[in-house]
Structure 1
Amino acid sequence: MPTDKQAYYKNSRLKQMRAFCQVVRCGSVTLAAQKLFLSQPSITLQVQALERELSTTLFERHGPTLKLTPDGEALFSLAEPLVRGIDDLHTNFVSQSGRLESGELNIGAGESTILYILPEAVSRFVKAYPGVHLRLFNVTGRDGLKMLKADEIDFAVGSMLEVPEDISYQPVVTYDPVLIVPPGHPLAKIKKVTLEHISQFGLILPPRHLSTWGMVKYVFQQHNLSFRVTLEAGGWEVIKKYVEMGMGISIVTDICLNGCEKLERIPLKEYFPQRDYGLVLRKGKFLSPQAQRFVEMLIEVYQDRVAP
């Protein structure tokens, strides 16, 4: 039987590891304290105690910036799955027992993905597992990756052009690029629209930190052309509305077009690549059974349109 001293030691070690892993995920002692509902000094003391016991330095400290030392990186790779396994023990036990009627699932996705990609999978999942608390976070780009790396979401769904080394991306469905213009627009009367034609008109695009802007910039640069943006707007629904109002034209994927819009659509496959949407995961992240089941359902929804 373990002694009281041994039990205390094991409990303290778990607290230290949990504090250390949360600091790494959040990149901040302050944020880690908020996540664990502890004070900032308490988190600092836990990490310092762990460093003393292991006779090493886990973080390089330069003001508010924390960077893992080589020993810190090695410890995190060992400790993170252990801490995560302990913290998720109850949920995973229930799920492994064949019961998916409880637990939670947190998914990050942009507005367009939530509106156009996820509805069918969400509907199927909620009907099949009404006891699972499903939350959709409307996040894109850097904000979504930040939540993913901090384990605030199980995974994200969206489109990625550049994939960071610590992230894995699995395409699920592919859509075609199109130019949308209001009815009667000069471009709608041209038999074969070129990039040079498009460059003469102002574009309405999503914010520049999102992937669409980078893709448009790259394609125009490849053809030694420039483009002009008259309006930045978040979300395809907003963009479609302003194009209908005659405030500009836009390059979108046909994911957002349902045929009810007062718009002319012009194919752009000759210039722009198809756009895939898929699963964005943190490498090494353990997916809960709830997350695994949702992923299966999402793939089932689009099994006839799986990206090549």
Structure 2
Amino acid sequence: MIDKLEMFIAVARETHFGRAAQSLNISQPSLSAGIKQLEEQLGVQLVFRGSRFGGLTPEGQTALVWAQRITGDARQFREEMRIKRNGLSGELRLAVIPTALTWAARLSSKFTKRNPKVHFTILSSTSREILTLLDGFEVDAGISYLDNEPLGRVHTAPLYDESYVLLCRHDSPFASKAEVGWSELKDETLALLTPDMQNRRIINQIFAEHDISPTTRIESNSIIALTASVETGRCMTILSADIARFLTTGKKLVLVPMSDARRRHSVGLIVPHREPRSPVIDALLTSARKLSEADQSGILIG
């Protein structure tokens, strides 16, 4: 039945039979037959059918929750049996907010150095998408903000505290400043992340506390696009200090700390609150905690 449940989950996720079949690398007739067989086994209709996908029935909505839980447990069961035989191995799917991608690289590199049979898939996602992906068993863990917006029932391991810098060209009047006050940007034109990004919502909150509505020339969900806009245009941007340092190495761009050093937000690893946790997830949480401790003490560890 597990394969039929996976077909059903794919249909619910893609809301289209053709795309669902393609995601599973099977034919659409095979998919339709599998869903029909599942409905016959359960004795209820799961999907409204017409000329196209018509959504899930009320029974289908309930069945989806069970299907995700059952397939998640089955995946964990297979993983634990594989670990008993071969040690830590398999795939870890990690969804990460864009500002923390450098930390995702550090964590995955540290983890795979000790566990070479584990393969990482790293996805750039918004904080809200990460929670949805975790709830839907589509990723195994995430890296996101821990203290700004509700997370629900998850286990966490803090990695670092995010601070903010103004990114400007070397010839900007701000480039020679030791730090920049938020109120100093009142009349400046900025390039900022799109409002669906929690980093942008945090920055908007800080501006609001200073009675400022930022003037944006460019909005993007790509930090690379914002950095390129500063380098080639007449705007500035505000970024997380860590990712800004990484993206500006070797460029004629200047990072100026934003004032109010107390204004930091914790970013860390989050995993679903499921018991028992798999050995791979336990090992990932341990690695995250050790990485954070090493960073705070200024020690690089492998």
User: 2:266 matched to which residue of 1?
Assistant: 276
* Match among 230, 241, 247 for residue 234 of structure 2: 247
Question: Contact 1:177–1:269 (CA<8 Å) still a contact in 2?
Answer: no
Quick check: 1:44 aligned with 2:44? no
* Match among 212, 215, 238 for residue 225 of structure 1: 212
Instruction: Return the letter of the residue paired with 1:202.
Output: T
* Match among 79, 104, 115 for residue 91 of structure 2: 104
Gaps of 5+ in 1: 1-12
> Which range is displaced more, 198-207 or 56-65?
56-65
Q: How does 1:125-136 map to 2 (within 5 A)?
A: 125-136=111-122
User: 1:297 matched to which residue of 2?
Assistant: 287
Instruction: Return the letter of the residue paired with 2:95.
Output: G
User: 1:4 matched to which residue of 2?
Assistant: none
Quick check: 1:55 aligned with 2:43? yes
Question: Contact 1:163–1:169 (CA<8 Å) still a contact in 2?
Answer: no
Question: Contact 2:91–2:119 (CA<8 Å) still a contact in 1?
Answer: yes
Task: Tell me which structure has the larger Cα radius of gyration.
Answer: 1
* Match among 266, 276, 294 for residue 257 of structure 2: 266
Question: Following the alignment from structure 2 to structure 1, what is the Cα–Cα distance between the partners of residues 71 and 200?
Answer: 39
- Matched position secondary structure for 2:266: strand
CA drift at 1:284: 5.2
Instruction: Return the letter of the residue paired with 2:28.
Output: Q
- Matched position secondary structure for 1:117: helix
Question: Following the alignment from structure 1 to structure 2, what is the Cα–Cα distance between the partners of residues 64 and 221?
Answer: 44
Quick check: 1:176 aligned with 2:163? yes
CA RMSD of aligned residues (A): 3.9
Question: Contact 1:112–1:235 (CA<8 Å) still a contact in 2?
Answer: no
Question: Contact 2:157–2:285 (CA<8 Å) still a contact in 1?
Answer: no
Question: Following the alignment from structure 1 to structure 2, what is the Cα–Cα distance between the partners of residues 192 and 138?
Answer: 30
Q: TM-score, normalised by structure 2?
A: 0.74
Instruction: Return the letter of the residue paired with 1:278.
Output: G
Q: Say if 1:65 and 1:268 are closer, same or farther in 2 by CA, change over 3 A.
A: farther
CA drift at 1:235: 4.6
- Matched position secondary structure for 1:200: coil
Q: TM-score, normalised by structure 1?
A: 0.72
Which ranges of 4 or more aligned residues in structure 1 deviate by more than 6 Å? Answer: 189-192
Q: Say if 1:187 and 1:216 are closer, same or farther in 2 by CA, change over 3 A.
A: same
Question: Contact 1:107–1:137 (CA<8 Å) still a contact in 2?
Answer: yes
Question: Following the alignment from structure 2 to structure 1, what is the Cα–Cα distance between the partners of residues 207 and 47?
Answer: 43
Instruction: State how many pairs are aligned.
Output: 289
